[in-house]
């Protein structure tokens, strides 16, 4: 019933593995995992998903501190090209979506320059998956007509997103890799006009059995961040985080949602 | 290998059906389609996806001009509650993702108020699916550290997104329902500081066999929009639309990408 394109030897597919829960793989990504000769995966792809590959598939950790080391992007690009030139079906499997903080664009440009045929399979981005699991409608009629996804990590040249402007312009903010800089980001949001009492939530290990949602405010975010256990963390800011808090008692199975004392 | 939670009679699942291509369904959404007693779907869910339901499943068009009529949201909320109270497994199936311009939050609040158990299954949002198909990495190191999803539709009270501010604050813009207002939006982006020559792309019927990508500029967007055939349309603005244009010759199978003469 579902038709998949042929995964031709000598080509590379870039696929998103979604936010963690194997049930949030797309049918296209599952097909790619079942068909590839070799899978270059980052550390955000859980073992349960890699286990879906046939036993003969070669699994290669690459990028985002996979296997404890961080593979530089240029070396990943070179590996993809070299493997494709060995006439293999090469799957580049990434947590989330390849084009949302996944560096998929750099890989596409390298493959195009090397004349390697490629295809991109989108995935559920971590922010989208986490919002669903935490019952936070990142857009909501009358409350949020725009949502921005931004990285909280400072750029290589120290360049950083202008959070004051972003907080003024967009209703909902979904922040990746923002936990470490949350104090600075919260200060910028407040400087831009957001109230310190506006809702902010930390979403930890979303869509996995370890999932935890911590509700707080922009003003209290830095103090709360310091108390959180290590985990893949997304931050959602805006009134929709408050809707998530209202709906928290209705979340199925999940760990009880935690409302911070300081929030 | 993949474990799905039990779809209990008397409960409602809200699921995203993705951007159009049935292969972009998640395994969780497919499981829901195969298990539901009744499916309330909007017009954005293609027939190929509804055909995956068993023959006995009741299919009910609801919302977003499904079946030629637009079902008001309140009446959909009431139908979901009434069907769940008949002890049915009720699936609310939406194009894209339930929480990205899908009004899923309103349905969750209504279900919670009626004490109906519910669950949310994210989907590939139209903008994410279209960006992948058009090879536009909506984030890209050194070029786009933030991406905003916004609606181009004016709100019920005439309230509208501040596109001038949004265009200044975010690197990439992914605009839903923006085709009709693109002249006004483009003027606001330029007023906010974007150059009229910056890349803008229209993505028509993305991920379907009718897919078409039209590359132009912010300044020429309104004139180009007037020449486009009817289609589900996303707009992507920013340097990443230019990367998509560079990569266009490498898109597999797709209709040839069109570079507008005025672009």
Cα B259 to the center of its chain, rounded Å: 24
Average pLDDT over chain B, rounded to an integer: 92
Mean pLDDT for A219-245 is: 96
Q: Which residues are registered as beta bridge partners of A61?
A: A41
CA angle, A179 as apex, A177 and A181 as ends, to 5°? 95
pLDDT at residue B71 in the model: 78
pLDDT tens for B217-263 read 999 999 999 999 999 999 999 999 999 999 999 887 644 445 553 43
Interchain proximity B250–A3, CB inside 8 Å: no
Nearest to B23 among A28, A137, A148 (CB): A28
CA angle, B92 as apex, B67 and A93 as ends, to 5°? 110
Whether pLDDT at A257 is above 70:
no
Whether pLDDT at A9 is above 70:
yes
Distance from the A165 Cα atom to the nearest Cα atom in chain B, whole angstroms:
5
Strands (E), chain B: 12-16, 38-41, 58-61, 90-94, 118-121, 146-151, 172-176, 199-204, 212-217, 233-237, 258-259
Whether pLDDT at A86 is above 90:
yes
Cβ contact A153:A48 at 8 Å? no
Whether pLDDT at A158 is above 60:
no
Flag the least confident range among A119-133, A247-261, B22-36.
Answer: A247-261
* Residue contacts between A and B (CB atoms, under 8 Å): 238
Q: Indicate the pLDDT class of residue B153, thresholds 50, 70 and 90.
A: confident
| Chain B interface includes A231 (CB < 8 A) | no
pLDDT at residue A107 in the model: 97
Spell out the alpha helix ranges (H) of B63-149: 73-85, 104-113, 126-133
Name the B residues in 33-92 with CB < 8 Å from any A CB: 48, 51-52
ipTM entry: 0.93
Residue of A nearest to B246 (CA): A109
Distance from the B220 Cα atom to the nearest Cα atom in chain A, whole angstroms:
24
Whether pLDDT at A198 is above 90:
yes
Best of B33, B135, B191 to substitute, by most chain A Cβ atoms within 10 angstroms, is B135
pLDDT at residue A261 in the model: 38
Average pLDDT over chain A, rounded to an integer: 92
Domain residue extents for chain A: 12-121, 126-259
- From residue B25, give the alpha-carbon distance in Å to each of A30, A138, B29, B205: 11, 20, 6, 16
* Residue B66 vs residue A146, higher pLDDT: A146
List the end-to-end C-alpha distance of chain A, in Å, as a whole number. Answer: 50
Single out the catalytic residue among B42, B79, B171, B205: B42
Give catalytic status of residue A94 as yes or no: no
Instruction: Give the separation between CA B235 and CA B177, rounded to whole angstroms.
Output: 8
Nearest to B22 among A2, A109, A160 (CB): A2
How many helices (DSSP H) and strands (DSSP E) are in chain B?
9, 11
Q: Phi then psi for A162, rounded to 5 degrees? A: -85, 90
Does domain A126-259 fall under CATH 3.40.50.150? My reply is no
Q: What is the dotted CATH code of the domain comprising B12-121?
A: 3.40.1010.10
Nearest to B26 among A26, A149, A246 (CB): A26
Single out the catalytic residue among B1, B37, B64, B162: B64
Flag the least confident range among B67-76, B148-157, B245-254.
Answer: B67-76
Percentage above 70 pLDDT, chain B: 92
């Amino acid at each position: 019933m579902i038709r998949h394109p042929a995964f031709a030897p000598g080509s590379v597919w870039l696929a998103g593995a979604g936010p963690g829960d194997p049930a949030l793989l797309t049918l296209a990504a599952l097909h790619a995992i079942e068909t590839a000769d070799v899978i270059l995966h980052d550390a955000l792809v859980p073992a349960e998903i890699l286990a879906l590959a046939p036993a003969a598939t070669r699994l290669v950790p690459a990028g985002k501190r996979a296997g404890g080391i961080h593979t530089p992007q240029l070396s990943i690009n070179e590996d993809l090209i070299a493997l494709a030139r060995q006439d293999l079906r090469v799957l580049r499997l990434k947590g989330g979506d390849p084009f949302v903080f996944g560096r998929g664009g750099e890989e596409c440009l390298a493959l195009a320059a090397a004349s390697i045929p490629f295809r991109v399979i989108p995935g559920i981005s971590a922010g989208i998956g986490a919002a669903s699991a935490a019952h936070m409608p990142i857009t909501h009629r009358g409350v949020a007509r725009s949502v921005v996804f931004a990285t909280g990590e400072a750029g290589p040249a120290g360049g950083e997103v202008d959070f004051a402007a972003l907080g003024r312009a967009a209703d909902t903010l979904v922040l990746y890799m923002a936990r470490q800089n949350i104090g600075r980001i919260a200060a910028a949001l407040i400087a831009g006009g957001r109230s310190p009492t506006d809702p902010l939530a930390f979403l930890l290990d979303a869509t996995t059995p370890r999932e935890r949602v911590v509700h707080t405010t922009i003003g209290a975010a830095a103090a709360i961040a310091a108390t959180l256990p290590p985990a893949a963390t997304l931050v959602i800011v805006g009134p929709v985080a408050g809707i998530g808090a209202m709906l928290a008692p209705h979340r199925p199975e999940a760990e009880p949602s935690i409302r911070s004392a300081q929030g």
